[in-house]
Structure 1
Amino acid sequence: MVEPVSGPRAAFEIDELYHHRRLELVRLAVLLVDDVPTAEDVVQDAFAALYRRHGARLTGLDDPEAYVRRSVVNGARSVLRRRRTVRAYVPPRPRPAPPPEEHVLLKEEHQEVLRALGRLTTRQREVLVLRYWSNLSEAQIAETLGLSRGAVKSTASRALAALARRLEDPA
């Protein structure tokens, strides 16, 4: 084991600190971030920041070992925060593209209805599609969407009124 090079008045250079403590710091980082390449990057970034801030002679720094160790821990925390953020992100599901012949096969009136239906709220659109396309009863729609029957009735009523207004005035 290498003796500690830090102390109240220990004057040494960054390359000496790097050679004596790099592997120990990588082991520390591996235990924190759980993979070797990332741990090596964290340690390398800590030493680069130390050099940028204090130079090769580490002037103005009482305990360079503690400083770089703290930098490694903070770097590992940042990596873990980024991982948590990335894992929490759920990209929106892409809508399937309509078949190319859809617009040719549908009559203009049907296209107008589809456009108006697309401008309703999600809940209104779901209720109307389940009712008139899937031929579900109010009770089945309520169970499917987790709503009360009354909410299904009122949503369907408002959706039909909104659909009628949009079809009368498509602008």
Structure 2
Amino acid sequence: MSRPQPEPARTGEESVWDYPRPPRVEPVRERVTITLGGVVIADTTDAVRVLETSHPPQYYLPIDSFIDGALTPAEGSSFCEFKGEAAYFDVHGGDQVVPRAAWTYPRPTRRFAELSGRVAVYAGEMDACTVGNEHVTPQPGRFYGGWITSPIRGPFKGVPGSMGW
């Protein structure tokens, strides 16, 4: 499949097609929050994001930025050729439980050591996820966990027909 036509990025915007492969990790300067079941279950100014070609950024928060009881270990794992083996969490907030809606890399590869002790969540499974004062839009498709904010331009992997990108 051929590479899709990137949307034009203006000053202050980012095209996911300019992100690298292999991906890179960078710090996030804005406050990041996650709400589930009407409860803010995570709040931090110490997030990082992973940038990878064709994907909106994935945000990783320190595990200690989650309230007590928000994360419980879940069955199963997956493997990323860049980051290593991922473990999953069920996410709890208010009276809601979302199975396998968060993941971590307990022993990330050396290149992704900054992800150690951090957790990412599927934004589409939460009530809301914010970066700064902006509510994020989840990356299309349940397989991917990117968060789309207004300065990010696509098209994004995860839409129908994008598996070969």
Bin of the TM-score, shorter chain as denominator length: under 0.3
Q: Whose helix proportion is higher, 1 or 2?
A: 1
TM-score by length of 1: 0.21
TM-score by length of 2: 0.21
